[in-house]
Structure 1
Amino acid sequence: MNAVPRQKLVVIGNGMAGMRTVEELLAIAPARYDITVFGAEPHPNYNRIMLSSVLAGEKQVDDIVINPRAWYADNGITLHTGDPVVGIDRAAKTVTSANGVVVPYDKLLLATGSKPLMPPLPGLELPGVVAFRDIADVEKMLDAAEAKQRAVVIGGGLLGLEAAWGLKRRGMPVALVHLMPTLMERQLDVEAGGLLQKDLTERGLHFFTSGQTEEIMGVEDGRAQGVKLTDGREIPADLVVVAIGIRPNVDLAKASGLDINRGIAVGDDMATSDPAIYSVGECVEHRGQIFGLVAPIWEQAKVCASRLAGRDDAHYETPPLSTRLKITGIDVFSAGQLAAQDEADEELVYRDSARGIYKKLVLRADKVVGAVMYGDVADGSWYFQLIREKADVAAIRDRMIFGQAYADATCKGHAGGVDVAAMSDDAQVCGCNGVSKGAIVRAITGKGLTSLDEVKAHTKASASCGQCASVVQAILTHVTGEVVEAKAAGMCGCTDLSHDEVRKEILHQGLKTQDAVRSALGWRHADGCAKCRPALNYYLLCAWPAEYVDDYQSRFINERVHANIQKDGTYSVVPRMWGGLTTPDELRAIADVADKYEIPTVKVTGGQRIDLLGVKKEDLPGVWADLGKAGLISGHAYSKGLRTVKTCVGSEWCRFGTQDSTGLGVKLEKLMWGSWTPHKVKLAVSGCPRNCAEATIKDIGVVCVEAGYDISVGGNGGIELRGTDHLVRVATEGEVLEYAGAFMQIYREEARYLERTAPWVERVGMDYVKKRVVEDAEGRRAAFARFVFSQEYAQIDPWAERASGRVDAHEFKTLAEVG
C-alpha cells in the first residue's frame, strides 16, 4: 500500500504563535506535512514574554529558548533564520524570502506577530531610542546599562513597567512617563494601580503619570538626551525606551491581497480570506478583536493545528483573559471586568493597607465576571476558573473574597488557594507556556512522571517564570497519590530555600550581612527582592543583635516612618502609651500637634492609644519631633513588632481586681517594646477572670487571679478568631516577665517572617511550646536572657530618642533572677 504523500506547509514567523501551532500539529498529525519555517530574527524560537527577565538579569538568552535548532532537525523541519519572507504568490502558491529562497506550499501559516507601536514624535529616529520587542532591543538596552546611563521609559503598561524594572535592576536611574494617571489602567483599577506605583517608587523608579511626551530631545552628536513633556517638563536621559503597545504586522498579508482590518481577518477556523492560508497570533483580528496576551494565542494555535490536520470540528472562541506582572516581589493579577459597569454589577473589596494587599471581585447575577488582586494573588487561578466556568457563587459570596481555602475549608489538594481536584482539564495552569491541567495529567500518567522537574521537562509547565510551580506540584501529588509533602516553597523567587532553611544556614555559616546570605546561598538576584529583603533583615537582626545593623531600606514604608499610609495618601501616627496610661502633659502635646499640623482626625484606638489620622508625609518628622518633646515615642502601630499591651484598671481601682494589671502591663510593654518580631504582636493583662482587657485573644495574654497570674499564648482577634492556649500559672510578676519574654524569644527565633504567633503555635503544637517554655526551666531562662540581650541592642528610633521611658534591661534580669 502506497504511503499518502506529505503536503507542504510553510510557516512565516518563527515566534511563539507559529511554533506553538506546529507543536500542536506534530502532536496530532506528525506525518501530514513537510514543514518549512522562515524567521526574520537570527535566533531559534524563544519565549518573547520572558525578555523582561533577560533584561533584569534573571535569565540568559539561552534560558528562554523554547525550541533549539536540534528540535527542528529532529522533527524534519527546514528552518531559515534571519531570512524574512518578502513576497507571497497566491496563484502559484509560493513564498519568496529576502535571500531569494522560493518555497512552494499547499498550506501557508502567517504568524508575523506585531510591531512596536511608535508615536509620531520628533526625535524618534535618534540613536539611543529603542523599542522593547526582541532580543536585539534587549542587547541595546544592556549596552546602555553597562555604561550606567540614564533611562526614560515611555509607557506604563505591562511592557513599559517590565522594561523600567529591568533597567533599574541593571543599575540605571529610570524615569517612566505614562499618558494616563494610573499605571496598567487596562489591567488594574485605580487603587491597585496606586499600590503598584507606590511600591515601585519605593524601589527607586520615578514616575511622570498624566504625562504626554512632546518630543525626544537630541544633542549635537545626534544622540537622544531626554524627553520633553507637553507641560514643559524635561527629563534627561541617554536611553529612551518606547513601550506604549503593539500593532499587528500585516504588511506582507496586505501586499498579498488578503482581507485586512486592524489585523489579518480570520474566521472561527483561523483561516484568512484565502482558504489555503491560515493565521495566528498578534497579527490576526478575530471578530473585531486583536491579541497581545499568550492565553488566547495558545487557543488559536490549538484550533489552527486541528484545522491543518483536517479536523473540521475545531472553532475558536476568545477565552477570558488574565494578566500577571513579571516583576520580582510584586504580585499583580487581574482578569475580566475591572469594575462594576452598571447597577447589575456588584463589587466585593478587601483591603489590608499595612500589608499592601488589595482584592476586588466583580459579580453579576451571582457569577464572578472580574477580579483585581495586588500583593496576594494566591487565589488568582481559582477566581479565573470561576470566571471561565461561569460558576454560581451565591453560597460562598460572603467569604470568597478571603480565598478558596477560607470559602471551602473542607476542600483538599489546595495549592495557593487552588483546589486541583476540582479544576477542569482545560483550566490553564502555566500562562507562560499555555499548559492546561489536562496536559499535565496526561503527561504524568502517560510517561510515569514522578517529580516536578520531570513535569517541567515534558510539558514546560512552570519552566519559565515559575509562578505556577506550587499548582503543578499539587497536580502531581493528586495524580500520583503520593502523600509525601512537597518541598517547602522557597521564601521568594530569588531562592528555592525555605524560610526555615535560610535561618538555619545564617546561624550554621555565620552569615552576618544580607550580601553574605545572598552570595553564600546562591540567590538568583544579587540584590534580592521586596519579599526576601525584609525577611533577611529580620532574620539577621534576630540572629546577631549585637553585630548586625538594621537596614531600614529593607523595611516597609510604615516601619521606616513610624506611620501607616491611609487610602488618601496621608499618614496615621500613634504615640506609645505605656499600658494605656497617659498624662495631662502628653495629652496637651497631642492636642498641640493636632492643631499645629491641622490633623483632621484624632481617635482612640482599640489598643488604648490615641491615633492622629490625616498627617501629611512632609509633616511626619515635625510631628514626631514635637511629640518627642513631651516624651512620646513611636507606638510601632504598624510595625512587625510589639504594638500594644492592653490593660484594665485592675486592683488599683476596680472592686473586682485581684492584681495590679495596669502596672504589670506597663512592665511588660517596657520590657518588650522596640523588639522586632516575625509579625505584629499584641499583649493584654486583665485584672481578674472577668477579662475586660480581652487577654484570651492576644498573642500573649495574662489574666490575674487570686493565686497569681494565668499566662496564655497564641491568640488572634483578626478575621480567623483564635482563642489562646493556656501556658502556665505563676505566682509573681517576675515570673510573668520571664515566661512571656522566653516565649517571645523562641517565637522570634523559630517562626517564619510574617507568621503570627497563632499559626506558629498551631504549626509547632502547644506541647512543643510548653516543653520549651514551661518544662525546660534552664532553657526558659536562657531564652529570656537572649531576649533581654537582644533588647539592649534594639535599634534606636530615627525620629524619637529611645531612652525616654525605657526601663533598663538589667532591671528585668534582676526581677526574673537571671544572671
Structure 2
Amino acid sequence: MELKHLVVIGNGMAGMACVDEILKRKPNFRISVLSEEPYYNYNRILLSAVLSGEKSVEEIYINTKEWYDTNNIMLCQGVKAVDVDSKNKVVITNGGASINYDLLLLATGSNAFVPPIEGVSKEGVFTFRNMTDTNRILESCKSSKHAVVIGGGLLGLEAARGILNQGVRVTVVHLMDRLMDVQLDTVGGFFLKREIEKLGISVLLSTNTAKIMGEKRVDGVMFKDGSIVEADMVVIACGIRPNVELAKKAGLTVNKGIVVNDFMETSDPDIFAVGECVEHRGKIYGLVAPLYDQGRVLAATITGDKGPLYEGSVLATKLKVMGIELFSAGDFKAEESDKEVVAYQDHAFGVYKKAVIHKNRLVGTILIGDTSDASRFLEMIRKQERIGEKRQRLLFEEPPAVAGSPTDVMSRPNSDTICGCIGVTKGQIVEAIRAKGLKTVSEVKSCTKASSGCGTCAGLVQGILKAVAGADFQEEKKDVLCACVPFPKEQLRIMIQTQELKAVQDILDIYGNGIGCSLCKPALSFIVDEVHCGNHKEDRSSRFINDRVHANIQRDGTFSVVPRMRGGVTSAAELRKIADVAEKYKVPMVKVTGSQRLDLLGVKKEDLPKIWAELGMTSGYAYAKAVRMVKSCVGTDFCRYGTQNSIETGIQLETLLEGLYTPAKVKMGVVGCPRNCAEATVKDIGLIGIEGGWQVVIGGAAGKRVRAADILVTVKTTEEALESALLFFQYYRECGEYLERTYDFVERVGLEKIRCETVLASEETKKGLLDRLAKAKAKSVNPWDVESKEPIHPMQFHDLVLPKEAEALIESVQ
C-alpha cells in the first residue's frame, strides 16, 4: 500500500507533539516537516533561560536530530511555506519548490503583536518570540546599558528576566494597572510588582507608550504623558496573534484563528490545524498544555480513529521568574455575586493565596510565593470536585506524604495530570515505566515528555518512578553545585555577576530552596567573593567554623594558630613573640609544620584574638580553602647549587597571593634549582629555577594521591614566572569547581586548554585575569588584625555551651 504523504508546516512544540502522537498510532504515512527556523524542535517555554545564560540552545531541544532520523521524518530546515494550493494539494516554498501532499497539518503558531508605535523599526528594537529573537537580544545585550520592555505579561517578564541576567538595567512598561493582568487580580498584581522590584527591575504601570526615540537607533522611549525613559534597547512583548496567512491562501475558514471543530478538522477535509494558530469554539489558546490536548485529538482524527473530542481546556499559568513562584488557573476573578473567595496574604514573606468557590466546587485560584498546591488545585478544578470538609484547610499544606495517604503521588487516580505543561497523566507515566523498563527521570522525560516544560513536576515524576521501578530506580548524577541550588557553578557565576547578587542568602532565595546546606553555603560564599573580587556582602553563617574564627578546629574543640612565614622565612623577633605567647597562654604544643611554619596547637577559642594581637603577625590561612603558603629553598642566597633566587621569589609570590580564597587549598613551592629541595614539583603551583630562567609547573600533589606537576611554561625572567603563576591562579579561581584541587582541575580541563587561556592567551585576556586578581587582592585584609580589635559579633570567640557548674546545677535540680 502506498504511503500517504503528510506535510507539516511548522516545527514547533504543538506540531511536533501532534506528530509524536501520530507516530504512536503507527500510521500509513510518510512525513515531511517544513521549518522556517534552522533548529530542531525546542522548548519555547525555556527561551528566557537561554536569554539569561542558564541554558544553551541544545539544552532546550525537545526533539533532536536522532528523533527525526529514527522516525524517518524529512525535516526541511530554513524552508518557509509561502502558499498553499488546496485544490491541487501543493505547498509552495520560499525557494520556489512545490511539495505535493495528501494530508496537510498547519502548525504555524503565532506572530508577535507589534502595536502601532512610532519608531518600532529603529535599530535596537526587538520582539521576543523565537530563538532568532533571543539571539538578536543577546547580541544587543553585549553593548546595551538600559532596556525597556514594553508589555508586563508573561512574555514580557520572561524577557526582562533574561535581559537582567545579562547585566542590563531593565524597565518594564505596562498599559494596564497591574502586571500579568490576564492571569492575576489586583492583589496578585501588587504582590508580583513588589517582588519584581526587589530584584532591581523598574516597573511602570498604566503607562501608554507613544514613541520610540532616536535617529537610526533607539535612545529612549516617550510615553503619552510626555515623560521619557532613556534606553538603548527596546523589547516589545505585547502579546501574540495567530499566524493565519497560509490558511487564508488555502481558502480555509478563518476568524481570529483557523477555525476547527471538536475533531480538530478545518473547513477542508484534508487540512488540519493545531496550536496557537487555531480558533476552537471562539477561543485561541497561547499556553502549551491546551495545544498538547489538541494534538492528541488530532492524531486520532487524522489516522482514522475519529472519536475523541477536544472540548476546550482549563487555562493554567505557572511561572518562576528569578525565584518568584506564581500560579493561576480557572476563573479567579470572582466577579459574580454567587462566587465566594477564600484568601490568605503574608506581605512579609510575599505569599498570596486565593481560591474561588462556586457551588461547593473550586473554580479558580491564584498562588504567589508558594505554589506547592498548584497541581492539587488544578486537578480539583478540572474534575469539578466537591470541596466539602476540605474547605477549612484548602489553602494550607496537607500533612506530609506517607505511602497510601492522599498526598502520596501513587495514591492519586491514574487520570490525574502530573505534567500540566504537556498534559501527561500519572497513568501514562506508570504505563511507560512498566512497558519500557524506564529507570531514570531523564528516560521518563524522553519517553513521555513529562517535566520537559517548566520542569516543576520533576519531583512528582521521580516519586512515581521510585514507586514503580523499585530497586531498578537510578538516581541521576547532575552536574550542579548542590540540590539546594541546582545549577552548575559556571551558570551561577553568570547569574551572580549579571544580577549583582552579593549575598549568599539572596542567591538561595532566588535560585535555591531558601535554606542551603553545609556544602553549598561555603561554596556560594567563595563564588560571590571571587565573582565580585571581594566586594560582596560577607555572611559568616555561610562559612565553616574555621573561617568564622580564622583558626583550625582540632578534635578536642581547641584550635591551632599558624602565623604566616612568607617563603618559610622568620626572624628572632617573631620567634620570641611565638615563644612568649605559647608560655603566657599555656599552649600545649608548638610544632614545626611541613609547610616551613610554626603551629601553636591546643589554643582555647576565647584566647584566639588575644594571641593574634600579641603576635602582631598575619594569618597563615592554615584553616581555609585559600592560599596556604609558599615553601622555598635557600636558592642563590646560600646554596652552592642555586641558579635562581628562590627565597626572594617565594616571598614575592606569597605576598602577591596571600589572603585570597580559592576553590580548594593552594600550596606553592619555589626552588632555586632542579634538585627540588622545597618539593615544588608536587605543589599546586611551583616555580623551578633552571639555568637562564624558570619552569612554572601546576597541578602537583603529595597527599593521599601523588602526582607530578605539569610544566605550564618555561620563561627567562622572574617577572615572567610570577605573572604566569598569577595567571593560572586566577584562572583556577574562576573556573575550578568548589573543593576541586588543582591536580584534578588540570586533568579535567586539560593542560593545552589551560595554556591557551592563560599564558598563551591574548594580551586583553591576560590583562582581564590580572586586573580581577588585583581587585580581589586590594579587598583582602589580615583578619587577625581586624577581628582581634573588633569581633564580627560579641559571641564570635565564645563557646555557646553551659559551663560545668551550670550543668551540675541543672543535674541536681533534675
TM above 0.5, yes or no, is: yes
| Matched ranges for 1:231-250 at <5 A | 231-250=225-244
- Identity over aligned pairs, percent: 41
* Aligned 8 A contact 1:128 1:239 in 2: yes
Question: 1:30-59: per-residue Cα shift (whole Å, max 9, x none)?
Answer: 4x1111111111222111121111001111
The reply to whether residue 491 of structure 1 matches residue 484 of structure 2 is yes
**1:461 equivalent among 446, 450, 461:** 450
Shift of residue 351, structure 1, vs aligned partner: 2.1
| Matched ranges for 1:164-203 at <5 A | 164-203=160-199
Counterpart residue identity of residue 64, structure 1 = I
2:695 equivalent in structure 1:
none
Tell me the C-alpha RMSD between the 2 structures. 3.5
The reply to whether residue 7 of structure 1 matches residue 1 of structure 2 is no
Counterpart residue identity of residue 199, structure 1 = E
With over 3 angstroms needed to count, the CA separation of the structure-2 counterparts of 1:232 and 1:46, relative to structure 1, is same
* Aligned 8 A contact 1:34 1:77 in 2: yes
Q: Distance in 2 between matches of 1:401 and 1:361?
A: 7
**2:542 equivalent among 539, 544, 547:** 539
1:513 equivalent in structure 2:
525
Shift of residue 191, structure 1, vs aligned partner: 1.9
Q: Distance in 2 between matches of 1:210 and 1:439?
A: 45
1:473 equivalent in structure 2:
462
* Aligned 8 A contact 2:439 2:474 in 1: no
* Aligned 8 A contact 2:45 2:454 in 1: no
Secondary structure of the residue that 2:67 maps to in structure 1? helix
Shift of residue 459, structure 1, vs aligned partner: 2.5
With over 3 angstroms needed to count, the CA separation of the structure-2 counterparts of 1:547 and 1:308, relative to structure 1, is farther
**1:306 equivalent among 300, 303, 308:** 300
| Matched ranges for 1:141-152 at <5 A | 141-152=137-148
Q: Distance in 1 between matches of 2:434 and 2:171?
A: 50
Secondary structure of the residue that 2:192 maps to in structure 1? helix
| Matched ranges for 1:557-596 at <5 A | none
Shift of residue 481, structure 1, vs aligned partner: 4.7
The reply to whether residue 129 of structure 1 matches residue 95 of structure 2 is no
Q: Distance in 2 between matches of 1:358 and 1:537?
A: 32
Shift of residue 485, structure 1, vs aligned partner: 12
Shift of residue 26, structure 1, vs aligned partner: 0.3
Shift of residue 60, structure 1, vs aligned partner: 0.4
Counterpart residue identity of residue 483, structure 2 = G
Q: Distance in 2 between matches of 1:102 and 1:348?
A: 59
Question: 1:590-641: per-residue Cα shift (whole Å, max 9, x none)?
Answer: xxxxxxxxxxxxxxxxxxxxxxxxxxxxxxxxxxxxxxxxxxxxxxxxxxxx
Question: 1:516-541: per-residue Cα shift (whole Å, max 9, x none)?
Answer: 6999xxxxxx99xxxxx999875339
**1:83 equivalent among 79, 83, 93:** 79
Q: Bigger CA drift: 461-470 or 141-150? A: 461-470
**1:504 equivalent among 506, 518, 538:** 518
Q: Distance in 1 between matches of 2:306 and 2:75?
A: 29
2:153 equivalent in structure 1:
157
Shift of residue 398, structure 1, vs aligned partner: 0.7
Secondary structure of the residue that 1:45 maps to in structure 2? coil
1:424 equivalent in structure 2:
413
With over 3 angstroms needed to count, the CA separation of the structure-2 counterparts of 1:159 and 1:493, relative to structure 1, is farther
Shift of residue 807, structure 1, vs aligned partner: 11
With over 3 angstroms needed to count, the CA separation of the structure-2 counterparts of 1:362 and 1:790, relative to structure 1, is farther
| Matched ranges for 1:41-52 at <5 A | 41-52=37-48
1:16 equivalent in structure 2:
13
1:37 equivalent in structure 2:
33
Secondary structure of the residue that 1:446 maps to in structure 2? helix
1:69 equivalent in structure 2:
65
**1:398 equivalent among 388, 392, 400:** 392
Counterpart residue identity of residue 207, structure 2 = G
Q: Distance in 1 between matches of 2:325 and 2:314?
A: 20
Secondary structure of the residue that 1:241 maps to in structure 2? strand
Question: 1:529-569: per-residue Cα shift (whole Å, max 9, x none)?
Answer: xxxx9998753398744579xxxxxxxxxxxxxxxxxxxxx
Q: Distance in 1 between matches of 2:530 and 2:448?
A: 31
Shift of residue 127, structure 1, vs aligned partner: 1.2
Counterpart residue identity of residue 226, structure 2 = G
Question: 1:187-208: per-residue Cα shift (whole Å, max 9, x none)?
Answer: 1122222121111111110111
Q: Bigger CA drift: 493-502 or 448-457? A: 493-502
* Aligned 8 A contact 2:334 2:340 in 1: yes
Q: Distance in 1 between matches of 2:401 and 2:108?
A: 48
* Aligned 8 A contact 1:322 1:334 in 2: yes
Which residues of structure 1 form unaligned runs of 5+? 520-525, 528-532, 549-788, 796-805
Secondary structure of the residue that 2:91 maps to in structure 1? strand
Q: Distance in 2 between matches of 1:56 and 1:165?
A: 7
Q: Distance in 2 between matches of 1:534 and 1:192?
A: 31
Q: Distance in 2 between matches of 1:506 and 1:466?
A: 22
Q: Distance in 2 between matches of 1:379 and 1:485?
A: 27
With over 3 angstroms needed to count, the CA separation of the structure-2 counterparts of 1:540 and 1:190, relative to structure 1, is farther
With over 3 angstroms needed to count, the CA separation of the structure-2 counterparts of 1:398 and 1:164, relative to structure 1, is same
1:98 equivalent in structure 2:
94
Shift of residue 793, structure 1, vs aligned partner: 4.3
2:669 equivalent in structure 1:
none
Secondary structure of the residue that 1:368 maps to in structure 2? strand
2:436 equivalent in structure 1:
447
Q: Distance in 2 between matches of 1:26 and 1:463?
A: 19
With over 3 angstroms needed to count, the CA separation of the structure-2 counterparts of 1:261 and 1:808, relative to structure 1, is closer
TM-score in terms of structure 2 length: 0.62
* Aligned 8 A contact 1:282 1:292 in 2: yes
The reply to whether residue 213 of structure 1 matches residue 209 of structure 2 is yes
With over 3 angstroms needed to count, the CA separation of the structure-2 counterparts of 1:367 and 1:274, relative to structure 1, is same
| Matched ranges for 1:752-767 at <5 A | none
With over 3 angstroms needed to count, the CA separation of the structure-2 counterparts of 1:437 and 1:134, relative to structure 1, is same
* Aligned 8 A contact 2:90 2:100 in 1: yes
The reply to whether residue 389 of structure 1 matches residue 386 of structure 2 is no
Counterpart residue identity of residue 74, structure 1 = T
With over 3 angstroms needed to count, the CA separation of the structure-2 counterparts of 1:418 and 1:223, relative to structure 1, is farther
Shift of residue 134, structure 1, vs aligned partner: 0.9
Q: Distance in 1 between matches of 2:463 and 2:174?
A: 40
The reply to whether residue 288 of structure 1 matches residue 282 of structure 2 is yes
* Aligned 8 A contact 2:149 2:156 in 1: yes
With over 3 angstroms needed to count, the CA separation of the structure-2 counterparts of 1:101 and 1:503, relative to structure 1, is same
